[in-house]
Amino acid sequence: MTNWVSFYDFKHSVIYVNERHRDVHYRKIAQDIAAYVPSPAARMLDYGSGEATSADLIAAACGHLTLVEAAPHVRASLAQRYAANPKVAVVRPEQVEAMPEASFDLIVMHSVAQYLTAHQLDEILALFRRLLKPDGLVVLGDVVPPHLAAPYAALALLRFGAQNGFLGAAVLGLIRIFFSDYMRLRKTTGLSHYEEGEILTRLKVAGFMAARAEENIGHNQRRMTFVARPVTPG
């Protein structure tokens, strides 16, 4: 495994401790994202969607949902899962870059920023600014702060497991992660961490007026979600 896209392109027990963990994880995220949909007619982009096993919940709340996924096997699985849903499209990142300006009312990027360099994040924010409608909304979820990120993530997983019936599997999963490709890749490739003020500054430079949301999308409330609207020139 040489990069994060390659790592997430294959199923690992280290990512989800069991199928129940995966399902409740994506259902929680989908429910939280759906709350941001501005109208039943909204066109929405989910950038770096992952397996998105509950994306149908988001699609039901909006007019059309575009799922963007870089990992080929994950993308193929998404395309198969939602082939019968006319409100869902599955595309590559390069296809999004070719889309016209002001294509979306809502753009969400959840739990992706930590896998990008600061330069890559800035490029994607600039892309979002171009693709967003003048009255649209960008939501960055699960941004990882720099202090004690790993311990808080472990505690959040244990709490989530206790609430959803997979506590024992979560404990075993935390043990497995220390001997996994994830830890090796984390040491060689690294993860990006951001202070609240840094994300707000990067969003401002990209042309947004932003604020931190009261609650993070998903189960880890130590991490941060930001909401941003485009600033109109002049």
Cβ within 8 Å of residue 23, ≥6 positions away = 53, 54
Q: What is the pLDDT of residue 6?
A: 83
Q: Higher pLDDT residue, 17 or 155?
A: 155
Q: What is the pLDDT of residue 4?
A: 81
Q: What is the pLDDT of residue 138?
A: 98
Q: What is the pLDDT confidence band of residue 7, given thresholds at 50, 70 and 90?
A: confident
Q: Tell me the longest C-alpha to C-alpha distance in the chain.
A: 56
Q: Give 193-224 pLDDT, tens digit per residue.
A: 999 999 999 999 999 999 999 999 999 999 99
Other residues' Cβ atoms within 10 Å of the Cβ of residue 111: 19
Smallest CA-to-CA distance from 81 within 53, 46, 50, 100 is with: 53
Instruction: Report the phi/psi class of residue 233: left, alpha or beta, with left for phi > 0 and alpha for psi in -120 to 50.
Output: beta
Q: What is the pLDDT of residue 1?
A: 36
Q: Give 62-121 pLDDT, tens digit per residue.
A: 999 999 999 999 999 999 999 999 999 999 999 999 999 999 999 999 999 999 999 999
Q: What is the pLDDT confidence band of residue 19, given thresholds at 50, 70 and 90?
A: confident
Domain count, the chain: 1
CA 202 to CA 204: how far, in whole Å? 5
| Pair 121, 113: CB distance under 8 Å | yes
Q: Give 155-187 pLDDT, tens digit per residue.
A: 888 888 888 888 877 777 777 776 666 767 777
Q: Quick one: average pLDDT of 28-33?
A: 97
Say if residue 190's pLDDT is above 90: no
**Tokens matching residue 212:** 């931190």
Q: What is the pLDDT of residue 93?
A: 96
Indicate the helix (H) or strand (E) that contains 132: strand 132-143
The whole domain housing 164 covers 4-230
CA 200 to CA 213: how far, in whole Å? 12
Read off the CATH number of the domain in which 169 is found: 3.40.50.150
